[in-house]
Chain A
Amino acid sequence: MKTKGYLAVFGALMGLTVLTVIASRLHLGVGVAVAIAALKASLVGAFFMHLKYEGRFTRFVAVFPVALLLLLIAMLLPDFR
């Protein structure tokens, strides 16, 4: 990946940052905020952390803990709704 590519990813991250602040002003809620954050994190992971170019096992090691964390949150939430 060339410098241009990294700059493009940075530009996208800046755009999404503006978007999430606007979404907050419009009170679009937690779903939109988390979706934008997840998209930003995916961009960082895929391009800055080179996951797009890594093998299957490294990708698995990167993504699996996130799945476990989502499971943890999903299992905790119903008790407090």
Chain B
Amino acid sequence: MNAAALPPRAETLKLGMWLFLATEVMTFGGFLASYIVLRTANAASMAADAGRLDVLLATINTVILIGSSLTMALGVAAAQAGDVRGARRFLLATIVLACGFLVLKGLEYGGKFHHGIGPWTSIFFSCYFTLTGLHGVHVLAGIVLLGVLAARAPALVAERSGAFESAGLYWHFVDVVWIFLFPLLYLL
């Protein structure tokens, strides 16, 4: 857990990831700001549409994604302790949870399409599909990243590369984005 214990290259990688996440904040932030402005300007119709979302599915997905952040944090801790097997096991758990999140998201989208609801339906659903879609793509990219990490775990753990820490930062960021999307889209 002691950040100072990592080699300088690993610290550089982590700082690079933080800078990348700064650009991500502004990317999501642009779309989020659009949603907030549009919602403020069209409060009644937006609230009516928001009421048609599946709160139960989204709540389960919130639990799943926060759970995946826990397994990711434990995986990073295992990697830092030099425990390749533990790191791999927690990475796989994280990947499984991430896949579960996407399956539920797919069911949610499927239900919407089944009822003829798509991004073209209204301003709210345009925002909904844009924000959750961009977030979903980030989850998908995370699955690929974590898969590569799991495959190369022995070398990455041995050279204390900072790869686990950096991938962890990305994954927790995706979790944080969802922590805001969940109440702003589903609960208001």
Contacts and interface: CB of A to CB of B under 8 A. Distances in A.
Given A40-B179, A80-B41, A62 B21 contact: yes
B183 A33 contact: yes
Interface string B16-52: 0011011001100110110011001100000000000
B22 A1 contact: no
A23 B187 CA distance: 9
B70 A21 contact: no
A33 to B, nearest CB: 4
Contact of A17 (B15, B29, B63, B73): B63
Interface residues of B, number: 45
Interface in A16-45: 17, 20-21, 23-24, 29-30, 33-34, 36-37, 40-41, 44-45
Nearest to B41: A80
B172 interface: yes
B74 A3 contact: yes
A48 B33 contact: no
A58 B15 contact: yes
A46 to B, nearest CB: 11
A14 B175 CA distance: 13
A41 B168 contact: no
Contact of B184 (A9, A33, A41, A44): A33
Nearest to A67: B25
> A-B pairs with the 3 shortest C-beta distances?
A24-B187, A33-B183, A69-B29
Given A21-B187, A44-B175, A68-B25, 15 more contacts: A1-B1, A9-B70, A10-B70, A24-B187, A33-B188, A34-B180, A45-B172, A48-B69, A53-B3, A65-B22, A65-B29, A69-B25, A72-B33, A73-B33, A81-B40
